[in-house]
Structure 1
Amino acid sequence: MQPLQIVPIATVVGGHTEVLDDYQGGVESIIRLREDFPLETLQGIKEFSHLTVTWHFSRSGPEAVQLHARSPRGDARWPATGTYVHRNHRRPNQLAISYPRLLGVDGRDLQVTDLDAVDGTPVFDIAPWFTDMGPRGPVQEPAWPGEMLKDYWRDADSR
């Protein structure tokens, strides 16, 4: 199998300047589409309230990947879980998916809030959030993600 080669289509501008585990909410940033893509690639996107954004943990590197079970955030209160149960930079391809709220469109700039990527982050894909493409049926998860993420979307100013 040949490796997939993808290049960024956009870059995060502004917003978070440091990598944080919590306090991701209320920060506005811009997803700036590359200039070699025509503006019509964004035609109709302003009709949507939220986006699905695939981005790269670019401030990390291959040395951060951990292919073993571990407690989330190294906190023994939560059970050791495998690499594919975590949603962080320790995954092999170091990709993330976020669902920011779209505030506006100005040319190639998508103004968003609640994007948990830092300034300068490469973006590999942008799509509108379709409610009908979300999970089907009841959603089930253990208690620890809610405990761990209780402050994740808390307003950044409340730190």
Structure 2
Amino acid sequence: MVSTYEVRPIATVVGGHTRVLDDYQGGVRSIIRLQEEYPLETLQGIEEFSHLTVTWRFHLARPEDVQLHARSPRGNTRWPATGTFVHRNHRRPNQLAISYPRLLDMDGRDLHVTDLDAVDGTPVIDLAPYFQQMGPRGGVRQPTWPGEMLDAEYWKDAAERP
């Protein structure tokens, strides 16, 4: 069994969110800038896709932020206490996230996107186009609390932030 695995960023988020926020993630434009070591040819054809699959690291999180126990999402006791791997935040051991931003434009190494819930300076670990056929198969099941937590304000337009 491998105990560690080295991963190097392939790109960096430029612009967009300037601080970590729980909500108002929508409508923010940012750039995913591919590192110079990767030839432009590695992006050839990506502009034909509407969305990307972006794996990124919560680079502002600290190792001591990891919480290996059940807890209510956002500390809201209206929602049930759930385990570490039931949350989608920086408190998980590898502090990684996956997002599906809309690709707006491409300019050389710069992929202009919107609705990427990462902050300026975030290291991008991996990047791929989103294929509908690779999304969930069959009906999707989940409890009510993720919808209550995220539908209300998570993807609200950032311009509406109080």
Task: With the length of structure 2 as denominator, give the TM-score of the two structures.
Answer: 0.97
What does residue 66 of structure 1 align with? 67
Q: Secondary structure at the match of 1:69?
A: coil
Structure 2 residue 3 is the aligned partner of structure 1 residue 6: no
Q: Secondary structure at the match of 1:23?
A: coil
Q: Secondary structure at the match of 1:49?
A: coil
Shift of 1:101: 0.1
Q: 1:63 and 1:109 mapped to 2: Cα distance?
A: 33
Q: 1:91 and 1:23 mapped to 2: Cα distance?
A: 22
Q: Secondary structure at the match of 2:153?
A: coil
Q: 1:136 and 1:92 mapped to 2: Cα distance?
A: 27
For structure 2, the 5+ residue unaligned runs are none
| Stretches (4+) displaced over 2 A | none
Letter paired with 2:56: W
Q: What does the per-residue CA deviation read over 1:78-135, in whole Å, with 9 as the maximum and x for residues that have no partner? A: 0000001000000000000000000011000000000000000000000000000000
Structure 2 residue 160 is the aligned partner of structure 1 residue 158: yes
Q: CA RMSD in A?
A: 0.5
Q: 1:12 and 1:158 mapped to 2: Cα distance?
A: 23
Structure 2 residue 150 is the aligned partner of structure 1 residue 142: no
Q: 2:79 and 2:160 mapped to 1: Cα distance?
A: 25
Give 1:7-156 correspondences, 5 Å limit: 7-149=8-150, 150-156=152-158
For structure 1, the 5+ residue unaligned runs are none
Shift of 1:61: 1.2
Letter paired with 2:157: D
Q: 1:12 and 1:91 mapped to 2: Cα distance?
A: 21
Letter paired with 2:140: V
Q: 2:89 and 2:148 mapped to 1: Cα distance?
A: 16
Task: With the length of structure 1 as denominator, give the TM-score of the two structures.
Answer: 0.99
Shift of 1:39: 0.1
Letter paired with 1:158: E
Q: Secondary structure at the match of 1:25?
A: coil
Letter paired with 2:148: E
Work out the percentage of aligned pairs sharing the same amino acid.
76
Letter paired with 1:22: D
Counting matched residue pairs gives 159
Q: Secondary structure at the match of 1:31?
A: strand
